[in-house]
């Protein structure tokens, strides 16, 4: 079963909601998972329960809830809020003690692509201490996002946090591809990298999970995205911190670039020391 028991799905009620349903059934197969459907209004008038727009949104949320109910989920709740989307999603996650956030990243709605170097998804990724699943609007993606998972690792403890949930979901995981990118001459040498990666592959075998590894050289984000496409991976998972992370911006440069540019779904895992 999944380690996620209480999740928040932030939705703007676009067609992307269907893909987020696939993400939910993949990462949270336990039908007793408590699911909170959240919609953030940015306009005061629309947020008024007496307005036609509010009533329209509420009906769509109820329809979305019915879709999840038909998938077998029993604990479903609807929450609406008014304010800055990233701040409100973060607040609702904390208030409702959620351990996973779902958002959809596309070019319209309140989860927007990068504009002047920032976006709601980016701001949320910086703020939250919880794992963040980002659906990427890939119409060709398989329904099971765990069919082939790319795990990007620099061998640090924080970069391997994804292994915990993969082990718990081992019955649903098709295969795992470990990727390590050597970015400069001071990084791990290829021989040592292969030794570490073989150990990870052997560990996955213990849990009955098929896995393989690759070592690349170049810019980490570009090589991870290129590998994901070449190997037809359905989801990339990695630590959100890393190279380029600071106290003011805890999002690492690699995870930031993947958040903005990756074509497949992305699961960002917070640093083990974040909380």
Give pLDDT tens digits for 227-266: 999 999 999 999 887 544 455 566 778 888 898 889 899 9
Q: What is the pLDDT of residue 108?
A: 42
**pLDDT tens for each residue of 45-67:** 999 999 999 999 999 999 999 99
The string of pLDDT tens digits covering residues 142-175 is 578 999 999 999 888 877 888 888 888 888 899 9
Could you give the C-alpha distances from 96 to 35, 132, 271, in angstroms and in order?
Answer: 10, 15, 21
Distance CA 274, CA 170 (A): 26
Strands 175-182, 148-152: parallel, antiparallel or unpaired by DSSP? parallel
Q: Which residue has the tokens 């440069």?
A: 253
The residues that bridge with 117 in the sheet, in sequence order, are none
- Where b means 16+ CB within 10 Å and e means fewer, 1-11 reads ebebbbbbbbb
Q: What is the sign, positive or negative, of the torsion defined by CA atoms of 220, 225, 229, 232?
A: positive
pLDDT band at 179 (very low <50, low <70, confident <90, very high): very high
**Beta partners for residue 78, in sequence order:** 37
43-67 exposure pattern, b = at least 16 Cβ within 10 A, e = fewer: eeeebeeeeeebeebeebbeebbee
Task: Provide DSSP, 94-144.
Answer: HHTT-SEEEEE-SSSSSS---BTTB-HHHHHHHH-SS-EEEE---TT--S-
Of the candidates 160, 83, 159, 89, the one whose C-alpha atom is nearest the C-alpha of residue 130 is 89
Task: Give the C-alpha separation, 225 to 236, whole Å.
Answer: 9
Percentage above 70 pLDDT, the chain: 83
Q: Are 149 and 117 in contact (CB under 8 A)?
A: no
| Confidence check: pLDDT of 213 > 80 | yes
Element (H, E) at 16: helix 16-27
Lowest mean pLDDT segment, chosen from 63-67, 136-140, 179-183: 136-140
Q: Which three-class secondary structure state does DSSP give residue 196? A: helix
C-alpha 161/C-alpha 243 separation (Å) is 17
Length in residues, the chain = 275
CA distance 65 to 42: 22
CA distance from start to end of the chain: 23
Q: At residue 15, does pLDDT exceed 60?
A: yes
Instruction: Round the average pLDDT of the chain to a whole number and report it.
Output: 84
Q: What is the pLDDT of residues 16-47, one digit of tens each?
A: 655 588 889 999 999 999 999 999 999 999 99
């Amino acid at each position: 079963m999944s380690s996620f028991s209480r999740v928040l799905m932030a939705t703007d009620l676009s067609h992307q909601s269907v893909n987020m349903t696939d993400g939910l059934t993949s990462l949270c197969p336990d039908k007793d998972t408590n699911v909170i459907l959240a919609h953030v209004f940015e306009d005061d008038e629309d947020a008024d329960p007496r307005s036609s727009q509010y009533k329209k949104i509420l009906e769509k949320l109820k329809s979305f809830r019915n879709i999840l109910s038909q998938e077998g989920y029993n604990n479903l709740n609807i929450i609406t809020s008014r304010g800055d989307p990233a701040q409100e999603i973060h607040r609702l996650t904390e208030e409702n003690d959620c351990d996973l956030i779902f958002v959809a990243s596309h070019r319209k709605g309140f989860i927007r692509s990068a504009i002047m170097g920032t976006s709601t998804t980016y701001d949320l990724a910086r703020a939250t201490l919880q794992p963040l699943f980002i659906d990427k609007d890939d119409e060709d993606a398989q329904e099971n996002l765990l069919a082939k998972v790319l795990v990007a690792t620099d061998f640090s403890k924080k970069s391997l946090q994804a292994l915990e949930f993969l082990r718990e979901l081992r019955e649903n995981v098709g295969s795992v591809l470990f990727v390590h990118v050597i970015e400069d001459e001071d990084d791990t040498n290829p021989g040592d990298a292969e030794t570490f990666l073989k150990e990870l592959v052997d560990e996955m075998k213990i849990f009955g999970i098929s896995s393989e590894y690759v070592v690349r050289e170049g810019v980490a984000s570009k090589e991870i995205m290129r590998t994901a496409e070449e190997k037809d991976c359905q989801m990339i998972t990695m630590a959100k911190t890393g190279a380029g992370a600071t106290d003011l911006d805890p999002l690492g440069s690699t995870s930031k670039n993947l958040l903005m540019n990756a074509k497949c779904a992305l699961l960002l895992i917070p640093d083990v020391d974040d909380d």
